[in-house]
Structure 1
Amino acid sequence: MNAVHNQPSIPHDIGAERAVIGAVFLNPNVYHRLDSITASSFYREPHRLLWQVFAHLIKSGSTIDMVTVSGELERRKKMDAIGGYSYLAGFSASCPGVVDAPHYADVMLRHERARELMTACHEALARLTNGDDPDEVAAEHQARVVEGAPPPDSCSWESETIDLVMERIRHGGSDDVLPCHLPDINAEFGGAFVGEVTVIIAPPRTGKSVFGAQWAEHLSVDRGIPGCEFTLEMTREQETSRRLSRWGSIDYGKIQAVQRRPKGSPSTLTAQEWERLIKAHEKLAEAPLRTDESLLSIEKIWSRTKAGVAREGWRWIFVDHFHLVRPSPGLTGENEIRGHIARGLKALAKDCGVAVLVSAHMNKENIRRTDKRPSMGDIRHGGELEGIAATILGVYRDELFNQDTSLRGVAEFSGVKARFGAGRSVRAKWEGRFQRFVPIIGGGSWDG
């Protein structure tokens, strides 16, 4: 008995529903002014049925009055379902007036929104009770809650937005562009943009993961901008070893070898290498840089990014890489799976307010071409990813395809797609032993 007594009442207002329907009977033009109201906005089934009849009459070119409505209800054999002629005739008499119809419509919409949220919460509770994954339930529940909500802060009047843009034009200071560690990339392509997706593609062994990781580390270590690298391919220990190699200028092979030596045996690092290693450790340990090595679905990446933004102020994420993001339940076919992930990355970037860097595998189309440089259409199952990306950077090293090249140790970055940049190619120096790309002239900040 107590369980029944404690059941929450369903939000609704019968008086508001009758007032809206009555206003339409008094003046059919009111129907067009209440374009936010649909049949599902009504709580009572007879009222939903009447609104469906109104919509049918308007669509067929008829007017709305007692004669046409009762005739349509008779044709559908639904007159008894709405309470008969007496109930129908009572709408006009009980209507407070046509002028107040928008107010009563707003009351109805608030109750409709409350019912939708209650339904979403009940469904989420049922799924959690059945043992569904909490992160996936949270991400899907969040989408249900956001859908249909009143305009958020991101939905602003043009007068507000234009004032902000004019202020930036006059004085600069936009923080929506996150610069790369290679100055030439910023000059040609503009950097990574908050709310957008930047894709890095390259043939195998070219260094696309290294490039993305360096960009992420530059943001955290050099600029103090928080974010997370979702390293789906490597473990955290492997990724940290690469970081120590490039920030300490210590051969990556040596970093790996000293970790594999018998415990307690002497290290082969020199005193100078130890000094650089300690400095690199201090820099990296103080940086607002997260590393997540879990194999995640796009829903889990979204959920964790949302939490990171709220708790730690993340401004970027790096997903390494696109083709290792786990499929979401219910999807079949690689194109459908990767399309869902691509759309999720774009929605994540806008909803969470972060710049998304993502590395992606190429298909084998470039092998069949004389020019092996990456181009549009080269991302494996990447049609939608190419569509949603603001920038696609192709990384190419001629030494991988031409043993006689004069460009050994040189990497070329091309704007396969550059919505905000010129798209011309730029070059950088590839230092494989240190797992890093540096400007052709000078070594930047990589030597500490």
Structure 2
Amino acid sequence: MTEADFINETNNIGDTPKVPYNLEAEKAVLGCMLAGKNYLATLLPLLNEGDFYAARHQIIFKAICRLVNERKAVDALTLADKLEASGQLEEIGTMAYIDELANAPRILENAQQYAKLVHSKAELRQLQQALQEVTALLQKSDSAEEVMDSLVSKLLQIRKLSKDSGLQAIWPIMDETLAYLQEIDKSGSRFRGLKTYYPSLDLAYGGLKPGSLNILAARPAMGKSALAVNIACNVACLAKLPVIIFSLEMSKQEISIRLMSGINFINASDFNKPPFPQEFWSKVSEAAIKFYDAPIYIDDRPGITPFEILSKARQLKLEKGLGLIVVDYLQLMQSDNRSDSRQQDVSDLSRNLKLLAKELEVPVIALSQLSRACEARQNRRPILSDLRESGSIEQDADTVTFIYRDSYYKEKEEGITENSAVSEAEIIIAKNRHGKTTTVKLNWMPDYTLFAENSNLEAPPEAHSQDFDEFTPDKLSPNFLPPVSSETADTSSTAEEIVPDLPF
């Protein structure tokens, strides 16, 4: 019986389309494994059972792994004994075939190349299977979106698995780490992750790490949606990275109005005072054109699930890349696995968002409500136990950040109205897996739904009417908007860094 006949019989492939494989490479790599411990140590992390196409080679590889796990020698004799003990020796073609592998033509120095060739053929088979499954789905599905989501999901999963290198010894890891630190040293940047372009926040976070889940929580009306939108705008307009905003609370029109209001200092209340004068349209047009090529994508469908978020994010990452995901907000999402317990649902949601961040290797900012417990205390500043409906949010999150504005409670309960259109906001980093916990002070500008960082920020004149000449951005302190462009701005991040062009 020829090798091809054996494969057809063992794998029962019959008349199915020809699939990619290289039997000689499989034989060579198994023969190298039988040549000594050094080759075993090199090859085992590079391969798995499914990489081998021939069923007999899968059986042999699995037996070799069992010998290694049992701390036994690996050679032709011990392998044959192991296969005979498990009743599989006849399945692979008797002892003669093991001797054939041990004496197969190969160059031991090329062992890793043999392994890479075997693995590459396995990836091609995975692609072939994925395309066949999608084609089958295409025949029975009426939804183009379902088919596209399935295809994108399968392709990303194959690509992710292809990057996995298995176990590695510590020295190669150290070597890579030293090279990585040298790159950081040359760049002068302190950050290993995505910048928010709030200097103090970036210093505290060290940048938002790829694969991290970052919870931004506050009581209603504290400005958590505004801060998340500000950060998303900074990432898209300054870092030029695609951003997705999944907004379960605000409509896409509301988000776009906030973006225009903040970037061009248009009083948010003026959007609700038609008929609009010509000055208003001039400011709005000027603001809108700044987002002409901004890679910001918004999905405002209610009740979206983690699976739907993952599908849309996968698709965008595959087509254009992806820098940041914003979910506003956690408690409005629907779990893919609905239960009778809302606490269990929220736990499932936070866990899935963390898994989503890890799979796509991008930071996720998820907004969350807080319970009323903080308002019942004398000190109303939020603490971790105030996270609403689930303690697992704290557990799953890499960072937990709260927003607290004392002026909000003064205005609400004591009837004290701030004379200034700018008030102080405390950004409390209560959990930080990659750094310290601290409190950062930002300036809250409610007229423009805008957070800004500057200790010397001058309060802008009140601009609550249609008198658009009363306030312009050039009346802000020079320290707030530096006279530099995003092209010439220093990309290194220091505590004194001010964001170019954008006010947030």
TM-score under structure 1 length normalisation = 0.75
Distance in structure 1 (CA, Å) of the matches to 2:95 and 2:14: 35
Q: 2:196 aligns with which of 175, 178, 181?
A: 178
Q: What's 1:208 paired with? A: 224
Q: What's 1:141 paired with? A: 154
**Is this contact kept in 2: 1:393–1:415, CA < 8 A?**
yes
1:291 matched to 2:298? The reply is: yes
Distance in structure 2 (CA, Å) of the matches to 1:313 and 1:16: 35
User: Map of 1:238-387 to 2, 5 A cutoff?
Assistant: 238-243=254-259, 247=264, 249-250=266-267, 252=269, 255-256=271-272, 258=274, 267=275, 271=277, 274-287=278-291, 288=294, 289-295=296-302, 296-305=304-313, 308=316, 315-328=323-336, 333-334=344-345, 335-348=347-360, 350-351=361-362, 356-367=364-375, 369-380=377-388, 385-387=393-395
**Is this contact kept in 1: 2:218–2:404, CA < 8 A?**
yes
Letter of the 1:426 counterpart: K
Partner SS for 1:229: strand
Letter of the 1:137 counterpart: S
| Distance apart, 1:417 and its partner CA | 3.1
Letter of the 1:255 counterpart: F
Distance in structure 1 (CA, Å) of the matches to 2:53 and 2:426: 62
Q: 1:55 aligns with which of 56, 60, 65?
A: 65
Q: What's 2:403 paired with? A: 395
Residue-by-residue CA offset, 1:406-436 (whole Å, 9 max, x unaligned): 68565432222354566224253453x6544
Q: What's 2:478 paired with? A: none
Change (3 A) 1:305 1:444: farther
Gapped regions of structure 2 (runs ≥ 5): 1-12, 166-172, 462-470, 474-504
Q: What's 2:250 paired with? A: 234
Partner SS for 2:215: strand
| Distance apart, 1:341 and its partner CA | 1.7
User: Map of 1:121-200 to 2, 5 A cutoff?
Assistant: 121-131=131-141, 133-134=146-147, 136-150=149-163, 157-158=176-177, 160-169=179-188, 176-180=194-198, 196-200=212-216
Q: 1:417 aligns with which of 414, 417, 431?
A: 431
Q: What's 1:428 paired with? A: 443
- Worse-superposed segment, 121-130 or 196-205: 121-130
Identity of aligned residues (%): 18
| Distance apart, 1:442 and its partner CA | 2.1
Residue-by-residue CA offset, 1:98-124 (whole Å, 9 max, x unaligned): 555444333222222222332333334
Change (3 A) 1:175 1:168: farther
Residue-by-residue CA offset, 1:122-164 (whole Å, 9 max, x unaligned): 3344445443724542452133212321479xx9944642332
Distance in structure 1 (CA, Å) of the matches to 2:444 and 2:25: 70
Letter of the 2:430 counterpart: V
Number of residue pairs matched? 422
Partner SS for 2:430: strand
Residue-by-residue CA offset, 1:184-240 (whole Å, 9 max, x unaligned): 656766776676554321112322112322343455578877644332212222333
Residue-by-residue CA offset, 1:294-350 (whole Å, 9 max, x unaligned): 3444454445445556766764443322333443469994112321123313543x3
| Distance apart, 1:13 and its partner CA | 2.1
Q: What's 2:97 paired with? A: 87
Q: What's 2:18 paired with? A: 9
**Is this contact kept in 2: 1:210–1:435, CA < 8 A?**
yes
- Worse-superposed segment, 67-76 or 279-288: 67-76
Change (3 A) 1:110 1:283: same
Partner SS for 2:414: coil
Change (3 A) 1:369 1:240: same
Distance in structure 1 (CA, Å) of the matches to 2:162 and 2:239: 36
Distance in structure 2 (CA, Å) of the matches to 1:143 and 1:426: 40
Letter of the 1:240 counterpart: S
Q: What's 1:261 paired with? A: none
Distance in structure 2 (CA, Å) of the matches to 1:178 and 1:38: 40
Letter of the 1:293 counterpart: D
| Distance apart, 1:79 and its partner CA | 2.9
Residue-by-residue CA offset, 1:39-59 (whole Å, 9 max, x unaligned): 333222222222222333333
Gapped regions of structure 1 (runs ≥ 5): 259-266
Letter of the 1:104 counterpart: Y
Distance in structure 1 (CA, Å) of the matches to 2:124 and 2:61: 20
Letter of the 1:327 counterpart: S
Letter of the 1:291 counterpart: I
**Is this contact kept in 2: 1:120–1:144, CA < 8 A?**
no
Distance in structure 1 (CA, Å) of the matches to 2:215 and 2:160: 28
TM-score under structure 2 length normalisation = 0.68
